[in-house]
A and B are shown apart, each in its own frame.
Chain A
Amino acid sequence: MLTSTFRVIKFAFQDFFRNFWLSFVTLTILILALFSINLLIIFNVVAKSAIIAIENKIDISVYFKPSISEDQVKNVQRYLQGISQVKEVQYISQDQALENFKAKHQDNPKILESLKEIEQNPLGASLVIKAKSTDQYTLILEQLVDPQYSNLIESKNFDDHKAVINRITTITEKVNYGVFVIALIFTIISILIIFNAIRMAIYTHREEIMAMKLVGATNWFVRAPYLLQGVIFSFLAVIITIIIIYPLLGFVQPYLALLLESDFNIVKYFNQNFAFIFGLEFLGAIVINLLSSYWAINRYVRV
């Protein structure tokens, strides 16, 4: 049994190197399939990060009446922070509101003149609310309908942004769905490509397989070297894909950071999920290789 096992291993490597160009082509096809899967992962991660980046820019402001004290505003802030749908509530004091206003209208001397005329700060404090999800703003604002809160509030800018927020929510849902569908299609295509590449490789060996059977080899003795080659192909394909992918990630990372205007790091993402991503790819490649080899060889061992 041990002798036969060593022979199977020897035959697997022998066949790999003696059919070098066939091995090279098969390996290349596997690498391309895995590379496309990794591109898909990158696209998926970037799309999700872009959506998060856009969602992070969405917020609504609640403006309080100028007569409302800081304590009252901070009470409302604490109340809102206790709501599960709320991600963050930032307090803008009256003074900060005035500074922000002046900075926003610094190129409009008439408005600045008007402020000087008024002498006192006409603006009230405000709270900038970020929700965990864009579809939850309506729910959050409903919590402020209570007269104990609504009497303190002068205005909210949600109605101005409602249409935009709804549109962004719809688009992100469609993007997520679209990414899922594309991922599914790509994965199926990759599986089919690997499956057919292995089948074609086995097809070129069909005469040899039949000859081995006619000489008295068992099905296991014929199959095992090809199955082992499938494992070798999978291992090499994953390693080479890693070698290609990481420099590519390093190259695109600065552009992605610029595009998303965030601290998103695709290299770090792959590092953190290295075992999961490449482990799954390795297992997936092995399973597809073994199944396709087994099925393809089956036709020719029936001699």
Chain B
Amino acid sequence: MINFKKITKIFYPKTVALKDLSFQVQPKEFVSVVGRSGAGKSTMIKILTAEEKPDQGKIIVGGWDITDIKQSEIPLLRRQIGVVYQDFKLLPKKTIFENVAFALEVCGTSANKIKNIIPQVLKIVGLKEKSDRYPHQLSGGEIQRAAIARALVHRPKILLADEPTGNLDSINSKDIIDLLLKINEFGTTVMLVTHNKDMVNRIKKRVVLIDGGQIISDQEEGKYVL
């Protein structure tokens, strides 16, 4: 599903974010990518969403080589991948319903279809009763669940979560991780980027440890050992 082939990324003038990084994520897999701050985890996410281009190597997502993806194709890529960010990135002047609907509106989905789909997705994340609220009217955990709903609404095969619990307390963090696990059970490939050791050790799924832009260890049912 995701294939990093000797990916190198250097930020000007000489910061090496990723160095010859190679690994694969299989369909329906749940992978935690862990490491300390500055290890290169978020850079991996940015390469997957074409926010950054690798300087060397190849990146293949769902069979599509996106290494040299054209500007005009980037929106198409992003509509096929769901992404959840640490800072949520919800649109503050749109309601939760409108925020989730936006992900479908950019695809040109009809208003009727949107009206049918959104309540179902919001029900999955437990926000059906709060669809008419604005982000500032929700708690941190609820906002992140709304962001997850937006990431899921166009049924992506891949869900990327970049430090989704970074701004949340431990109880909300647990709820978010449980939600991601539930989404994975439905068949979505999930790649979770985090530096939260306790969370990773609780999940007991594949753990890829990155440091200095390189993979240090890659273990099925691994643990995050500092």
Q: Is the CB of B110 within 8 A of A215?
A: no
Residues on A with beta carbons closer than 8 Å to the beta carbon of B14? none
The contact of B150 among A18, A19, A213, A215, by CB within 8 Å, is A215
CB-contact partner of A208 in B75, B77, B92, under 8 A? B92
Of A207, A217, A218, which is within 8 A of B89 by CB? A207
In the assembled complex, the CB of B223 is this many whole angstroms from the nearest CB of chain A, namely 31
Which of A208, A214, A216 neighbours the largest number of chain B CB atoms within 10 Å of its CB? Answer: A216
Inter-chain CA distance A214–B78, complex, in Å, is: 7
Q: Report whether B92 and A4 are in contact in the complex, using a CB–CB cutoff of 8 Å.
A: no
Which residues on B sit within 8 Å (CB–CB) of A213?
75, 78
A221-B106 in contact (CB<8A): yes
Please determine whether A216 and B106 come into contact, CB atoms closer than 8 angstroms. Answer: yes
Are B93 and A19 interface neighbours, CB within 8 A? yes
Query: Do B78 and A216 touch (CB < 8 A)?
Result: yes
A9 in the interface, Cβ–Cβ < 8 Å?
Answer: no
A212 beta carbon closer than 8 Å to chain B = yes
Kindly state the separation between the CA atoms of A207 and B103 in the bound complex, as whole angstroms.
16
CB–CB A214/B51 < 8 A:
yes
Answer whether residue B179 sits at the interface, using C-beta atoms and an 8 A cutoff: no
Chain B contacts of A14 at CB under 8 A?
93-94
Give bound CA distance, A4 to B105, whole Å: 8
Closest chain B residue, CB of each to CB of A302: B71
Q: A interface, by DSSP: helix, strand, loop or mixed?
A: helix
* B interface footprint on A244-274 (CB within 8 Å = 1, 0 otherwise): 0000000000000000000000000000000
- How far, in whole Å, are A211 and B110 apart by their CA atoms in the complex? 22
- Contact call A216/B76, Cβ cutoff below 8 A: yes
- Judged by a CB distance under 8 angstroms, whether B43 is at the interface is no
Given contacts A215-B150, A218-B75, contact A303 B51 (CB under 8 A): yes
The tally of CB-CB contacts under 8 A between chains A and B is 49
In the complex, whether A3 has a CB less than 8 A from a CB of chain B is yes
Q: Which residue on B lies nearest to A215, using beta carbons?
A: B103
B93 contact from A7, A18, A221, Cβ within 8 A:
A18
Smallest CB separation, A92 vs chain B (Å): 77
Contacting residues of chain B (86-116) with chain A, CB-CB under 8 angstroms = 89-94, 102-103, 105-108, 110-111
**Shortest Cβ distance from A4 into chain B, in angstroms?**
6
B94 contacts across to A, CB distance below 8 A: 14
B106 touches A211 (CB 8 A): no
Q: How far is the CA of A19 from the CA of B201 in the complex (A)?
A: 44
Please determine whether B110 and A208 come into contact, CB atoms closer than 8 angstroms.
no
Provide the residues of chain B in CB contact with A15, threshold 8 Å: 93
Q: How far apart are B98's CB and chain A's nearest CB, in angstroms?
A: 8
Q: How far is the CA of A216 from the CA of B78 in the complex (A)?
A: 5
Within 8 A of B (CB), among A80-98: none
* A4 and B108 contacting across the interface, CB-CB below 8 Å: yes
Contact of B89 with A211 in the complex, beta carbons under 8 Å: yes
Contact of B83 with A by CB under 8 A? yes
With a cutoff of 8 Å between Cβ atoms, the chain B residues found around residue A216 in the complex are: 75-79, 103, 106-107
Extra contacts, 19 of them, besides A211-B91, A217-B102, A218-B75 (Cβ < 8 A), are A3-B108, A3-B110, A3-B111, A14-B94, A18-B93, A207-B89, A208-B91, A208-B93, A212-B102, A213-B75, A214-B49, A214-B89, A215-B103, A216-B76, A216-B78, A216-B103, A216-B107, A217-B75, A217-B106
Partner-B contacts on A (CB < 8 A): 3-4, 7, 14-15, 18-19, 207-208, 210-218, 221, 303
Q: Which residues of B contact A (CB under 8 A)?
A: 49, 51, 75-79, 83, 85, 89-94, 102-103, 105-108, 110-111, 150
